[in-house]
Amino acid sequence: MKSRFSGLVRPYCVPVPARIQKPSPHLRLVSAGDAEAARRTPGLTDAELVLLCRVRERGAFEELYRRHAASALALAVRIQGNTVDVEDIVHDAFVRAHDHLDKLRSGDSFRAWLGSIVVRLVRTRLRRKRLLTSLGLSRSEPIDLDAVAAPSIAPEERLELAEVYAILEGLPLDRRIAWTLRYIEGRQLEEVAEMSGCSLATAKRWIAQAQQAIADNRSLPLRSPERARAAQGAEP
């Protein structure tokens, strides 16, 4: 689903940091460094690559990594609103995907399944960060608009995106994530539910609640995340 906001963010083709352009040896891939195997896999579908991974075909998972690393990175950045620790999140997501590939029911859904792993890791990190901040053991992380916004958007659109992210920062994490998946990532409702680990009805409710919070706050002066959380009844 394309929304107004999905057109304001950077596309997936943003430069991928050198650290995750190629899988780390610690990813425990069956194919790392096998050039001949890598040449056999680029034209295959995700489902075919997953099947090859399950029979330990060299090069298959490395091709999945090359194919989806950029989108996984963009997903983490868009949910967080900055680039802090996103490379670690992407690396850890692929490690988990590799180690639990037998749990994937359909190879065609690898991208969404990987995305759900990224979402869980980002949610865990943000929840821990909020707790540490509330205890005075850490500082809040500012939104990095340069990492999120498309370079070509107008200044007023950039300001609008900054305002929306400031409001999202104060929402409960489940609502923030569901809304971001729907309106920033442009995911279908079924994908939002799957990636958020909830029912379709719950995903719709979280999105609607976040949308209402954005509508209620956008005409008002921006408030601090702490005040926004208090206004929305959010927990750290």
**Residues 99-137: pLDDT tens digits?**
999 899 898 999 999 999 999 999 999 999 999 988 988
Tokens linked to 57 = 């075909």
- Distance (Å) of CA 155 to CA 59, 80, 169, 223: 44, 22, 21, 21
State residue 172's pLDDT score. Answer: 96
**Residues 11-35: pLDDT tens digits?**
654 444 555 445 444 444 333 344 4
Quickly state the pLDDT bin for 206 (edges 50, 70, 90).
very high
State residue 84's pLDDT score. Answer: 92
Instruction: Share the mean pLDDT of the chain.
Output: 81
State residue 235's pLDDT score. Answer: 43
CA angle 71, 56, 94 (to 5 degrees): 25
Tokens linked to 229 = 């959380």
Quickly state the pLDDT bin for 7 (edges 50, 70, 90).
confident
The phi, psi pair for 61, rounded to 5°, reads: -70, -35
Quickly state the pLDDT bin for 2 (edges 50, 70, 90).
low
Total domain count for the chain?
1
Q: What is the domain extent for residue 26? A: 5-232
Quickly state the pLDDT bin for 184 (edges 50, 70, 90).
very high
DSSP for 26-40? GG--SSTT-HHHHHH
Q: Which of 126, 27, 113, 10 is nearest to 70 (CA)?
A: 10
Q: Classify residue 58 as left (phi > 0), alpha (psi -120 to 50) or beta.
A: beta
What is the spatial distance between Cα 10 and Cα 39, in angstroms, rounded to a whole number?
A: 30
What single DSSP character describes residue 196?
H
State residue 40's pLDDT score. Answer: 56
Residue 111: count other Cβ atoms within 10 Å of its Cβ: 16
Q: Is the pLDDT of residue 205 over 50?
A: yes
